[in-house]
Amino acid sequence: MKRRTVVTAIVTAGVAMAGSLVFAACGGGGKDEASTTSTSKRTTTTTAPVLAPLTGLPDPSGASETRAALNVKVSNAPEARPQSGLDQADVVWEEVVEGGITRFLAMFQSNSPSAIGPVRSVRLTDPGIVWPVGGIFAFSGGAKYALDGINKAPVVLVDESRAGPAMYRDRSRQAPHNLYGKGDALFAKGGTPVPPPALFTYASAVHSRSGALPITAARVGFNGSFAVDWSWDSASRSWLRNAGGRPFMAASGKQIRATNVVVMSVSYRGGVGSMGAEGVLTGEGKVLVLTDGVAIEGRWLRSSVSQVTRFVDLKGAVIPLTAGNTWVEMPDVTYAVTTTAAVAPVTTTTPKVPTKSTSKP
């Protein structure tokens, strides 16, 4: 992403007032000097702020201009919790894998956590997620059929066997939930840094949110204990993640929160929850976008695997997100997604009862 330069021209006009100068001479006359106008022009240059492509937020450091995206597969098994680095990810995708459990694909670009993980293996859905983003794909390994798929994607593959000191085992945790990556070292595996494209459109003065419904919470009905609830927190202007009736915490001690939650209903080829299940991420399907305290129904559209997914409302207009981090939930089309509507406080006004006045005759 390049810096944009804005040039402002300031014009100052000076008018030289010329009077009639009369030169007296014998038998001679006078001649007026012509009026002249001079214009000076000076320019001032201001630099527009750099915006991180995966969040739309200002990036004063400019780091997002100089590095590719780092995509890391992270476990969501109960034994892997609390995870490290998820609270610093720009975008997190949650997909269904074998047995109906879910797994994360976390994208980093504006932040570089010192620890990310536990790192787990690649799945068939992953190439469709990272294809338009590119960059580095960090994972623990994978079955041959899954490796064949990710090998075709335009990403630099970094698994445990190739990571060197960029990955390590935390001996205080039990395998396989103890492999972690180091952000800076993994970024260094990316070769020539090419920033990713923007994945979302962010709200501006020209955007409107048609059909927005104020809500307090939404539930994504993943299988069993993997169902997730997002509740709106007006104080932080973000959605708080809960699972199993408890706050979903990061290893940092912070509850996971998202500025935006995008719920894409996806068909899983091969059967949802099967070992070889693959989320179909091209074509179109239903979407529910949670942003700024409202829910917006619409469709997700994607013509090819190399294209960025578009999110439009029921009238076909692009759904603008709020600048910030985003979680993308990908439940199967058969899973229920429900919301809890916000109830506006009812204000009642007690009418004044007129007082009777009495007058003495």
Q: What tens digit of pLDDT does each residue of 143-175 get? A: 999 999 999 999 999 999 999 999 999 999 999
Q: Is residue 57 domain-resident?
A: no
- DSSP-derived secondary structure letter, 150: H
Same domain for 336 and 224, yes or no, is: yes
Q: Is residue 240 domain-resident?
A: yes
**pLDDT bracket for residue 191 (50, 70, 90):** confident
Same domain for 135 and 182, yes or no, is: yes
Same domain for 42 and 67, yes or no, is: no
Q: Is residue 21 domain-resident?
A: yes
The reported pLDDT for the residue numbered 6 is 37
Q: Is residue 357 domain-resident?
A: no
The reported pLDDT for the residue numbered 63 is 86
Whether the per-residue pLDDT at 44 is higher than 90: the answer is no
| Alpha carbons 54 and 93: distance in angstroms, whole number | 13
CATH number where 289 lies: 3.50.90.10
| Alpha carbons 341 and 216: distance in angstroms, whole number | 6
| Alpha carbons 72 and 155: distance in angstroms, whole number | 12
The reported pLDDT for the residue numbered 210 is 74
Residue recorded with tokens 């996806």: 266
Q: Is residue 71 domain-resident?
A: yes
Q: Is residue 113 domain-resident?
A: yes
3-class SS shares of the chain: helix, strand, coil, % to 5: 10, 35, 50
- DSSP-derived secondary structure letter, 279: E
Same domain for 78 and 181, yes or no, is: yes
* 3-state SS assignment for residue 205: coil
Whether the per-residue pLDDT at 327 is higher than 70: the answer is yes
Instruction: Kindly state the average pLDDT of the residues 253-260.
Output: 99
Q: Is residue 58 domain-resident?
A: no
Using alpha carbons, list the distances in angstroms from residue 26 to 19, 21, 23, 29, 30. Answer: 22, 16, 10, 9, 11
Q: Is residue 129 domain-resident?
A: yes
| Alpha carbons 305 and 335: distance in angstroms, whole number | 24
Question: If you average pLDDT over every residue of the chain, what do you get?
Answer: 86
User: Phi, psi at residue 300, to the nearest 5°?
Assistant: -100, 140
Residues 6+ apart with CB under 8 A from 309: 199, 264, 281, 300, 301, 302
**C-alpha dihedral sign at 229, 230, 235, 236:** positive
As for how many domains the chain has, the answer is: 3
* Structural domain containing residue 239: 213-341
